[in-house]
Amino acid sequence: MDAVLDILLRVVYFVVFLGVLVFLHELGHFFFAKLFKIEVEEFGFGFPPRMVKLFRLAETDFTLNWIPFGAFVRPKGENDPNITGGMASAAPWKRFLILVGGPLFNIVTAIILFSIVFSYTGAPVREAVQVMGVAESSPAAAAGLQEGDLIVSIQGKAIIDGEGLKRIVGANLGKDITMVYRRAGRDTTITLTPRTNPPAGQGAIGISMGTPLVPVNWFQAIPYAAYDVFYQAKMLVSMPGMLMRGEISGDQARVVGPIGMEGLLNDASKQDQAMQAANPGMAPLAQLSLMGLISAALGITNLLPLPALDGGRIIFVLPELLFRKRVPAEMENMVHLVGFAALLILMVVISGQDISYLIQGR
């Protein structure tokens, strides 16, 4: 009985956790629609079918729906340009901002959350990789690397993150490479040879890595947080190419659905509990970080030019913005209908993959 209750509480907590981020996304669309005096007929929590109408505010029905993962707003005349005063009949720049509003709210939320976390932990400085540990008898140890050193470049290429370091090292296994590291403000150049068959858990050169951190207050953390969101966007866009080039594995590029995210949230909750046991009153930094990551991912992903996503809808507004030539509404609606069906199928596939990984304990 306790196990069932625990699972139920986890599910409820996750629905609320994800629901807050989805609500903020839809709030962005709602805000800009109202700003441009376009009526919003419904603001739904969850996806239809409808469970109950919660209340009505002005012309908007606020509803609770049966499918818990998600939310939506339904502006007047969303897909019909013949309805006067509706969204589809509004000026293209207004429709553009309404569509961008959702991702924008998610991105701003991510920046705020990262700023809070960085004010506790320090802000990441993505201009080097910090050595967190050096394995005995490894190439790194033989070359003189020590814990706390900053790896600045390898083979003349600047290193700003661990993935970049792994790519260059992985492309030069068994070959001499030149590395520049910084210690106490002084740069030193060394040569070492990445191993082709390192001991388990050590890696090719035998170091564990981290990102240098600088102490900041909340206000000082904002630009670092904004850059971190930009960094995530850059990694998301470049990931397919990295996967095809073999620079990252399929597991690293795996898309995570709601089931996978719930597992990540549970892990983050356990981390926070352990930290708060050692330091009572500590903010739930792991959960705030995860919320920031998911919020940034929601914002960035929704800007991708794919049908049914905000980015896919924005693509259809651009010809009108740039050339004053509108794509026929019937064609646009059909593309989004097909895209939405494909999106649902993709979610089923991703959820199946999450369940498979869960069963395998990965």
Same domain, 304 and 342: yes
Q: Distance between the two ends of the chain, CA-based, in angstroms?
A: 26
Q: What pLDDT shows up at residue 360?
A: 63
Residue 361 has pLDDT above 70, yes or no: no
pLDDT digits (tens, 9 = 90+) for 288-324: 999 999 999 999 999 988 887 899 899 999 999 888 8
Q: Give, in order, the Cα–Cα distances in Å from 307 to each of 177, 263, 279, 289, 346.
A: 45, 29, 47, 29, 13
- At residue 343, the pLDDT reads 75
Are 245 and 263 in a shared domain? yes
For the stretch 69-81, pLDDT in tens is 678 999 999 888 8
- pLDDT higher than threshold 60 for residue 362: no
For 30, the token pair is 């709602």
pLDDT in tens, 131-182: 999 999 899 999 999 999 999 999 999 998 888 898 899 889 999 999 999 9
Whether residues 220 and 168 share a domain: the answer is no
How confident is the model over 267-277, as a mean pLDDT?
90
Beta bridge partners of residue 56, listed in sequence order: 61
Confidence of residue 253 (pLDDT cuts 50, 70, 90): low
What token pair was written down for 209? 């890595």
| Helix (H) / strand (E) containing 346 | helix 329-360
- As for how many domains the chain has, the answer is 2
Instruction: Give the residue from 211, 226, 250 where a domain finishes.
Output: 211
pTM: 0.85
Same domain, 346 and 360: yes
Same domain, 89 and 222: yes
Per-residue pLDDT tens digits for 174-216: 999 999 999 998 999 999 999 998 888 888 999 999 989 999 9
> 3-class DSSP state for residue 199?
coil
The top-scoring range by mean pLDDT among 13-17, 99-103, 237-241, 307-311 is 99-103
Q: Are residues 236 and 110 in the same domain?
A: yes
Query: Where does the pLDDT of residue 12 fall: very low under 50, low under 70, confident under 90, or very high at 90 and above?
Result: confident
Residues 314 and 286 in one domain: yes
Among residues 103, 94, 76, which one has the least CA distance to residue 22? 103
CA gap 339, 341 in Å, rounded: 5
Last residue in a domain, options 161, 193, 211? 211
Q: Give me the domain span that covers residue 58.
A: 1-123+216-362
The pLDDT tens digits of the residues spanning 98-111 come to 999 999 999 999 99
User: Which of these three, 211, 237, 270, is where a domain ends?
Assistant: 211
